[in-house]
Amino acid sequence: MLTITIKEGKDKLLLKHHPWVFSGAIAKIEGEGAGFAEVLSESGSFIAYGYYDAKSHIVLHLLSWNKSDRMDEAFIRSLVRRSVLRRKELLQRKDTTCLRLIHGEADFLPGVAADCYGREVRIIISSRFAYAFLPAIASELDTILHPSIIEASVDKAFAGPEGLPERLRTFKEGKEAAEDTSRANVRFIEDGILYEAAPGKGQKSGFYCDQRDNRRIVEEVASGRTVLDLFSYTGPFTLHALRGGALSVDAVDSSESALRHLLYQVHINEDEKIIPPESREKVTITDADCFGYIRGVEDGKYDMMILDPPKLAKTKASLDNAMKAYKDLNRVAMLKIRNNGIIATFSCSAAMSAESFRLMLSWAAADAGVEIQLLRTMGAGEDHPIRLSFPESEYLKGCLIRVIKG
Ligand code: SAH
């Protein structure tokens, strides 16, 4: 095991269980290569155990603040097991078979995101630590859940900085196996709605299961409304609005394949009588840039809008520009929506705090000359917990607002 000494004054957050250590905070490293490390303050007192890899952009990830823990593969396996067991109730839900099993640092496994889709598990890796322990993580998930297949890939945004290959890796019965993309789409349900995901494709691990609770909120207010679903992806908000009794839903996204899949999912849910009859006649799809599209929307056409853009602030440095983009999108939506219309608006940028998100909305309202009422504050579901010693884990923020004009 390596021994790493942290510079005086750089250990404050670490003592409060923040898990990230950048190279500038390190005073001394004893030992060679990548591996587990005992992390000490300059006075020599124990802070935590971690995993060190000089090639990672976060060179040291802290894993345990308990001196009596033993750092080995069995410890990593126990983190996986505990993470899954924390979701026992969710895993027993009959109406939801898609959820996050491991949520990275918030579950004490830096850079590991694992989602289950019915009988399949998909892992997205964003750290060298996660890549190093991938076989152990996959094998432990297999032991607990017995999935039909586990697929793992490296997050595109991290493959470069971490020096990792993006390629898909497949595990069956806990062992690495040949890639199997010829198999059928996997079917799963979320809150009673049917979905399909193609093997090894799609965005994220194929589906955004962090929005589960917010889709239900949208459904509850959709009755009798004319809905615009911006950044619809494969249509979960559209499907919920339809089940909630929306008059019509116009879905817009820049991914044509996602929109085609949206229509397919409307069909299968209508066929299974999960959404009302003739739902397919109520839906339109448009392949367009939503930032431009919203400008051309007819005034007062909609009385409900969903704004779920991709992560616009990738880092804290890009926050100012991102704030402008979020504000502009929300401002135009507020201008276009009918008096008393409802907007479900989101940001999944970790760099933007919940407070900044609300501030941005108040600026947008002031510029649009409208008043807004905050009806509900929204966030990711409980399978994407926010670890308070790691504020970066609060990435998804949402507000359900009513727009009042004149
Ligand atoms: N609302 C979706 C998730 C949205 S993710 C759900 O509940 O599952 C963000 C989506 O925005 C992606 O589908 C992506 O294709 C789309 N997108 C990214 N940039 C876009 C742009 N400029 N205009 C339209 N869509 C965009």
* Residue 289: inside a domain: yes
Residues 356 and 330 sit within 8 Å (Cβ to Cβ): no
Phi–psi pair at 11, nearest 5 degrees: -100, -5
Domain that holds residue 381: 208-404
Same domain, 290 and 396: yes
User: Could you list the pLDDT tens digit for every one of the 406 residues in the chain?
Assistant: 999 999 999 999 999 999 999 999 999 999 999 999 999 999 999 999 999 999 999 999 999 999 999 999 999 999 999 999 999 999 999 999 999 999 999 999 999 999 999 999 999 999 999 999 999 999 999 999 999 999 999 998 899 999 999 888 999 999 999 987 788 889 999 999 999 988 775 455 589 999 999 999 999 999 999 999 999 999 999 999 999 999 999 999 999 999 999 999 999 999 999 999 999 999 999 999 999 999 999 999 999 999 999 999 888 788 899 999 999 999 999 999 999 999 999 999 999 999 999 999 999 999 999 999 999 999 999 999 999 999 999 999 999 999 999 8
Q: Please work out whether the CB of residue 253 comes within 6 Å of at least one atom of ligand 1.
A: yes
- The whole-angstrom separation of Cα 175 and Cα 180 is 14
Measured by CA distance, the residue closest to atom 11 of ligand 1 is 231
Residues 402 and 375 sit within 8 Å (Cβ to Cβ): yes
Same domain, 58 and 83: no
Same domain, 222 and 310: yes
- The whole-angstrom separation of Cα 331 and Cα 310 is 17
Q: Please work out whether the CB of residue 291 comes within 6 Å of at least one atom of ligand 1.
A: yes
* Residue 192: inside a domain: no
Residues 356 and 323 sit within 8 Å (Cβ to Cβ): yes
- The whole-angstrom separation of Cα 119 and Cα 297 is 41
Residues 66 and 46 sit within 8 Å (Cβ to Cβ): no
Neighbours of 75 (CB within 10 A): 15
Where residue 36 sits, what CATH number does that domain have? 2.30.130.10
Same domain, 378 and 263: yes
CA of 249 to the centre of ligand 1 (A): 16
Q: Please work out whether the CB of residue 220 comes within 6 Å of at least one atom of ligand 1.
A: no
Q: Please work out whether the CB of residue 286 comes within 6 Å of at least one atom of ligand 1.
A: no
> Measured in whole angstroms, how far is the alpha carbon of residue 139 from the centre of its chain?
24
Question: How much is the pLDDT for 294?
Answer: 98
Which mutation among 98, 203, 231, 285 tests ligand 1's pocket best, with the greatest number of atoms within 8 A of CB?
A: 231
Neighbours of 339 (CB within 10 A): 12
* Residue 250: inside a domain: yes
Measured by CA distance, the residue closest to atom 15 of ligand 1 is 255
Question: How much is the pLDDT for 204?
Answer: 56
Using the 3D structure, point to which of 20, 42, 64 is the last residue of a domain: 64
Same domain, 78 and 59: no
Q: How many CA atoms lie within 13 A of 342 on its CB side?
A: 20
Structure tokens at 257: 């394949």
Same domain, 150 and 243: no
> Measured in whole angstroms, how far is the alpha carbon of residue 132 from the centre of its chain?
22
Residue 387 vs residues 183, 315, 319, 382, 394: alpha-carbon distances, Å: 37, 19, 22, 11, 8
Query: Which among 50, 42, 39 has a CA at the least distance from the CA of 9?
Result: 42
Q: Which residue has the tokens 């919920």?
A: 240
Using the 3D structure, point to which of 64, 84, 102 is the last residue of a domain: 64
pTM of the model: 0.95
Structure tokens at 326: 């979020």
Where residue 128 sits, what CATH number does that domain have? 3.30.750.80
Same domain, 247 and 178: no
Measured by CA distance, the residue closest to atom 22 of ligand 1 is 289
> Measured in whole angstroms, how far is the alpha carbon of residue 189 from the centre of its chain?
18
Same domain, 328 and 285: yes
User: What total number of domains does the chain contain?
Assistant: 3
Question: How much is the pLDDT for 201?
Answer: 56
Same domain, 221 and 349: yes
Measured by CA distance, the residue closest to atom 18 of ligand 1 is 310
- The whole-angstrom separation of Cα 316 and Cα 351 is 5
Same domain, 274 and 175: no
* Residue 203: inside a domain: no
CA of 254 to the centre of ligand 1 (A): 7
Same domain, 287 and 375: yes
- The whole-angstrom separation of Cα 27 and Cα 8 is 8
* Residue 277: inside a domain: yes
* Residue 17: inside a domain: yes
CA of 253 to the centre of ligand 1 (A): 6
Neighbours of 202 (CB within 10 A): 18
* Residue 198: inside a domain: no
Which mutation among 211, 254, 345 tests ligand 1's pocket best, with the greatest number of atoms within 8 A of CB?
A: 254
Same domain, 241 and 370: yes
